[in-house]
Amino acid sequence: MNRDINIDTEQRVARAKELFNSGYNCCQAVVMAYADVVEIEPTLAATIAAPFGGGMGRLREVCGAVSGMTMLAGFISPCPTADSALAKRENYALVQRFAEAFRAQNGAIVCRTLLGLDHAKDDPTPSPRTAEYYRKRPCAELVGDAARIVAQHLVENSNK
C-alpha cells in the first residue's frame, strides 16, 4: 500500500460518487477511488469489484459500498498467508470497524434494507442508469459514506 499518498477525504468521497454516477456499481466506485493508494490497476479493481454490486450480484445482501470497504481492508490490513492468526484478527477487526461505522451512519449494511426493498433477489439485469435511477436511489450517498470511512481511517493511521 502506498502510504506516501496524501489522503484528501472530500476528494476521495467526490471521486467515489463520480465513479458511481458514471456507471460503476457501488463496490467498484469505492475500490476504484482508492486504486492508487492500494496500488492496483483501476481496470483490475473494477473487474474484481464488479460482482459485488447490487449486494453481491443483485442478491441484495451486503451493500456493495460495504463490500468495497471490505476489499480495501484487505490491502490496508493485509493477511497474505494462511498461518497468521494475528493478521487475520487485525483484518477482521478493521472490516468490523468499517461495517459498524457504516451501520451507525445508515442504519444497516444490507442492500435491500438500505434501498427499502421487500425481496432478497432481483433479476440479474442491471437497472438502466437514468436520471430517475439516480434520483430514487441513495447509492451515491452510501458510496460517499464508505469512501469517507476509509479515508478517515487512513488519515488517522497515516503515522503508524
pLDDT tens per residue across span 36-89 = 999 999 999 999 999 999 999 999 999 999 999 999 999 999 998 888 999 999
pLDDT tens per residue across span 82-119 = 889 999 999 999 999 999 999 999 999 999 999 998 87
Q: Which three cell numbers stand for residue 38?
A: 492500494
Least confident of 92-101, 116-125, 133-142: 116-125
Q: Which three cell numbers stand for residue 109?
A: 449494511
Q: Are 103 and 145 in contact (CB under 8 A)?
A: no
Q: Cα separation of 100 and 109, whole Å?
A: 8
Q: Are 111 and 94 in contact (CB under 8 A)?
A: no
pTM given for the model:
0.94
In terms of phi and psi (left: phi > 0; alpha: psi -120 to 50; beta: otherwise), the region of 54 is left
Q: Cα separation of 74 and 64, whole Å?
A: 15
pLDDT tens per residue across span 1-34 = 777 788 999 999 999 999 999 999 999 999 999 9
Q: Which three cell numbers stand for residue 18?
A: 463520480
pLDDT, residue 127, reads 84
Nearest to 120 by CA among 40, 58, 77: 58
Q: Cα separation of 57 and 9, whole Å?
A: 28
